[in-house]
Amino acid sequence: MNRTTTPQYFQAIAWGLMSLVCLLAILAWGRDYAWHLTPINAYQYFPLFGLLAFSLMWTHYAFGAIKRSAHLPDSALANYFEATSLAVLVLICLHPGLLIYQRYKDGYGLPPHSYETYVSHGLGWLTILGTISLFIFLAFEFRRRFSDREWWAYVLVANDLAMLAIFYHSLRLGSQIHGWFRTVWWFYGLSLIACLIYKYVEQATPDKESRA
> Can you give the pLDDT of all 212 residues of the chain as single tens digits?
444 456 678 888 999 999 999 999 999 999 988 888 777 789 999 999 999 999 999 999 999 998 888 888 877 888 899 999 999 999 999 999 999 999 999 999 999 999 989 998 889 999 999 999 999 999 998 888 888 888 999 999 999 999 999 999 999 999 999 999 999 999 999 999 999 999 999 888 876 443 33
Contacts of 66 (CB under 8 A, 6+ apart): 10
Contact 165, 35 (CB under 8 A): no
Residue 1, domain member (yes or no): no
Report pLDDT for 6: 67
CA atoms of 60 and 63, how far apart (whole Å): 5
CA atoms of 161 and 141, how far apart (whole Å): 16
Q: Which domain holds residue 40?
A: 6-211
Torsion of CA 190, 194, 195, 201, to 10 degrees: 160
Residue 182, domain member (yes or no): yes
Which pLDDT tens digit goes with each residue over 105-163?
999 999 999 998 999 888 999 999 999 999 999 999 888 888 888 899 999 999 999 99
Question: At residue 34, what are phi and psi to the nearest 5 degrees?
Answer: 55, 30
- The identity of residue 189, as a single letter, is G
Residue 180, domain member (yes or no): yes
Residue 73, domain member (yes or no): yes
Q: Count the Cβ atoms, other than its own, within 10 Å of residue 86.
A: 11
